């Protein structure tokens, strides 16, 4: 389920309820110092959406937390800050399985459950639970602010557990869940509220999560697009652009491998990987054979080796459409160059493109994307230069 953030986030408010303390719910992310609370709440909503059960095992929540956190941490290589312990666990998932990120693929939660044995899942959930062991109690502490005031940190968990159990029946408006063995039991009145307002509550979570992530990833572009499984990409414009160019330039060759590109083997490569830029703008897309693109994955190509060929091909394609009088297809370039590309020299075009790409490549490299990479056509593999 992909959630778009609400347009008006300045005064993000949750739907009111006559019998529930929504003001307390609105304060659960106050003074948040790590990402665990966001993923705890999100995983509760996921479980309700998928199963509708009021009793949820913490093993289930733990694995859902990992599945949700894997995309920003490992796929998009974002940071949760110095206190985060999820990153190594996310990397462990990638070392054990190849995640299917196609838009219609099963959820990562289902993929993990399908690929790991029960013993492995148990060990994995215990490791995750050790990371967020205070979160289930700290999350609902705002509802019991008066009762827990002045209690030492090491005693908060026990106090919250006792209070939630004592008030579960008598004051359900204050008790979202209580602790039952290794599970939590959601109060029925809260189940109804959480189910009814799933979309708004997810927007609420991601609104707070984006603000948290901005502090830890100040130079990252497209941050709000990098918190969930990638949405389906729209490559229609890029397909038209490059197929139109290829139709009148049948001798077109791949800048990486030198192989001739045909309609049959045509694939569209994001020069800076999509998992970093999170957009499909034409200035970052070039044609390659399918096998070259598939092998590249999310590697950063060497600017020293490929920038000249990349920028020259981009320039030739733009000028091809300019000479045809087509003003619509090169629109992405107009936004990037902010000046008339019709009379622009190759040198000026390359200079602007280099200034756009170089700092982004440096940021991507700092995040952990591999650089510099070159293509070895003898074995159809990319490797570090």
pLDDT per position as a tens digit, 49-88: 999 999 999 999 999 999 999 999 999 999 999 888 899 9
- Asked whether the beta carbons of 329 and 38 are under 8 A apart, the reply is no
Give the confidence band of 385 by pLDDT, cuts at 50, 70, 90.
confident
The arithmetic mean of pLDDT across residues 321-325, rounded, is 84
Residue 128 forms part of a structural domain: yes
Q: Does one domain contain both 51 and 194?
A: yes
Q: Does one domain contain both 174 and 305?
A: no
pTM: 0.86
Could you report the per-residue pLDDT of 209-232, keeping only the tens digit for each?
999 999 999 989 899 999 999 887
Q: Is the pLDDT confidence value at 309 over 50?
A: yes
Q: Does one domain contain both 341 and 366?
A: yes
Q: Does one domain contain both 240 and 279?
A: yes
Residue 9 forms part of a structural domain: no
Position 5 scores a pLDDT of: 45
Q: Does one domain contain both 136 and 272?
A: no
For residue 245, which of 345, 311, 322 has the smallest C-alpha distance? 322
| Domain-ending residue, one of 173, 200, 226 | 226
| Domain-ending residue, one of 168, 191, 226 | 226
- Burial of 206 from C-beta contacts in 10 A (0-12 / 13-18 / 19+): buried
> What percent of the chain lies above the pLDDT cut of 90?
78
| Domain-ending residue, one of 195, 226, 257 | 226
Query: Count of domains in the chain?
Result: 2
Q: Does one domain contain both 221 and 249?
A: no
Average pLDDT over the chain reads 91
Residue 7 forms part of a structural domain: no
Could you report the per-residue pLDDT of 338-356, keeping only the tens digit for each?
767 777 899 999 999 999 9
Q: Does one domain contain both 195 and 342?
A: no
Position 329 scores a pLDDT of: 62
Q: Does one domain contain both 26 and 127?
A: yes
Q: Does one domain contain both 243 and 344?
A: yes
For residue 148, which of 164, 133, 135 has the smallest C-alpha distance? 164
Q: Does one domain contain both 162 and 289?
A: no
Q: Does one domain contain both 207 and 265?
A: no
For residue 221, which of 265, 274, 143 has the smallest C-alpha distance? 274
- Domain carrying residue 367: 236-384
For residue 240, which of 331, 307, 104 has the smallest C-alpha distance? 331
Residue 293 forms part of a structural domain: yes
The arithmetic mean of pLDDT across residues 325-332, rounded, is 69
The arithmetic mean of pLDDT across residues 34-41, rounded, is 96
Could you report the per-residue pLDDT of 235-259, keeping only the tens digit for each?
998 999 999 999 999 999 999 999 9
Position 339 scores a pLDDT of: 67
Q: Does one domain contain both 56 and 171?
A: yes
Could you report the per-residue pLDDT of 135-182, keeping only the tens digit for each?
999 999 999 999 999 888 889 999 999 999 999 999 999 999 999 999
């Amino acid at each position: 389920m992909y959630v778009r953030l609400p347009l008006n986030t300045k005064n993000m408010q949750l739907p009111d309820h006559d019998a529930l303390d929504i003001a307390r719910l609105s304060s659960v992310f106050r003074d948040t110092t790590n990402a665990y609370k966001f993923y705890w709440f999100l995983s509760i909503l996921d479980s309700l959406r998928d199963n509708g059960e009021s009793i949820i095992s913490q093993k289930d929540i733990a694995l859902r937390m990992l599945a949700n956190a894997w995309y920003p941490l490992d796929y998009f290589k974002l940071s949760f800050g110095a206190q985060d312990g999820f990153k190594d666990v996310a990397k462990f998932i990638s070392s054990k399985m190849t995640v299917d990120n196609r838009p219609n693929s099963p959820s990562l939660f289902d993929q993990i459950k399908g690929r790991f044995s029960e013993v492995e899942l148990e060990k994995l959930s215990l490791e995750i639970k050790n990371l967020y062991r205070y979160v289930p109690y700290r999350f609902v502490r705002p509802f019991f602010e008066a009762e827990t005031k002045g209690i030492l940190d090491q005693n908060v968990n026990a106090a919250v557990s006792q209070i939630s159990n004592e008030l579960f029946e008598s004051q359900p408006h204050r008790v979202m869940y209580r602790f039952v063995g290794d599970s939590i039991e959601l109060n029925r009145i809260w189940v109804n509220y959480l189910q009814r307002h799933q979309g708004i509550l997810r927007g609420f979570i991601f609104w707070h999560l984006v603000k948290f992530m901005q502090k830890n990833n100040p130079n990252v572009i497209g941050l709000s697009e990098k918190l969930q499984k990638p949405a389906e990409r729209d490559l229609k414009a890029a397909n038209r652009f490059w197929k139109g160019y290829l139709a009148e330039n049948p001798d077109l060759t791949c800048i990486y491998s030198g192989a001739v590109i045909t309609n049959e083997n045509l694939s569209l490569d994001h020069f800076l990987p999509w998992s970093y830029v999170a957009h499909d703008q034409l200035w970052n897309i070039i044609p390659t054979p399918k096998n070259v693109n598939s092998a590249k994955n999310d590697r950063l190509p060497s600017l020293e080796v490929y920038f000249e060929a990349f920028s020259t091909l981009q320039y030739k394609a733009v000028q091809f459409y300019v000479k045809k009088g087509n003003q619509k297809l090169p629109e992405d370039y107009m936004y990037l160059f902010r000046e008339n590309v019709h009379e622009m020299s190759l040198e000026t075009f390359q200079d602007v493109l280099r200034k756009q790409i170089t700092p982004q490549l440096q940021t991507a490299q700092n995040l952990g994307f591999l650089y510099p990479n070159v293509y070895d056509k003898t074995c159809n593999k990319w490797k570090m230069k």
